[in-house]
Amino acid sequence: MPDWIVSWVLVAVSIWLLQPTIRWMHKHIQGLGLLITNNPQGAMLIYYLSLVPGVVLHEGSQWVVAKILRVKIKKFRLWPERQRKGVVRLGLVEIDGKTDTVRATLVGIVPLVAGIGAIALIGGTRFNPAVLLAALATGDLPTIAAGLGAFLDAPDFWLWVYLVFAIANTMLPEEHDNINWWLIVGLLVGLAVVLWFLDLSILIKAGLDGPLAQMAASMSLALILSLCIDLFVMALIWGMEQLLTRLLNREIEYQ
């Protein structure tokens, strides 16, 4: 199987796994904040501060693209606001409902593109995933331990982990984002068909084996890194919830 197919499959599987993970994370960060403060406003503040870099990137990227495309912005907010039924919205870019599908899709999809790009950049420049992956591939415990140690020794490691965590858990499209996924798929398929009929299939193959393969590899690495960090944080949050439930004698019920 070609490497580019494996990379794109990993991208799809990682995004599929991230969706329930992110939903769990948003619920339980708020729950942990409420458990700690016993105050809804305090819980909302903890929730916001936990993810604020990602909120800024999500809403900021949408604002920039909307301005570039001359899309009318009805509302712009970088701070949290409690909605109906107690739901907290961390930020908001609301565009004119009359915006055409193409521009609305570009504004809606840009946080995902910017988020994956930022995580890929952090993973490639601040961590050393290649050494860790090579060590894991050996199956030798001392080599794996050495590779893990090299990975954890990255300068400001925990700062970059926090940034990846915050970005990963705020980069997915939201309910109010008007994205036409069929438009995106159709454009890609249409481009491939045109090139094929023009007998430029060699360009398709070169793209898949070259730039697109590299892009897929970077995206898959970024998403897997995000998923691993989320699983680690999930374990921490769950442990803290269990401990505080016993110490404070109160419990959070999730719906």
Report how far Cα 5 is from the mean position of its chain's Cα atoms.
21
In a domain, 254, yes or no: no
In a domain, 253, yes or no: no
In a domain, 111, yes or no: yes
Residue 132 belongs to what domain range?
13-248
For residue 114, pLDDT beyond 90: yes
How many whole angstroms separate alpha carbon 61 and alpha carbon 66?
Answer: 8
For range 155-169, the mean pLDDT: 91
pTM above 0.95, yes or no: no
pLDDT digits (tens, 9 = 90+) for 94-107: 988 888 888 999 99
In a domain, 30, yes or no: yes
In a domain, 148, yes or no: yes
In a domain, 217, yes or no: yes
How many whole angstroms separate alpha carbon 106 and alpha carbon 65?
Answer: 8
For residue 203, pLDDT beyond 70: no
Question: Quick check: 3 and 216 in contact, CB under 8 A?
Answer: no
For residue 207 the two structure tokens come to: 């793209």
In a domain, 164, yes or no: yes
How many whole angstroms separate alpha carbon 115 and alpha carbon 9?
Answer: 19
Q: CA distances (Å), 93 to each of 31, 104, 161, 166, in order?
A: 26, 12, 26, 18
- Backbone torsions φ then ψ of 12, nearest 5 degrees: -65, -45
For residue 150 the two structure tokens come to: 């090299």
In a domain, 8, yes or no: no
> Which pLDDT band, with edges at 50, 70 and 90, does 152 fall under?
confident
**Count of structural domains within the chain:** 1
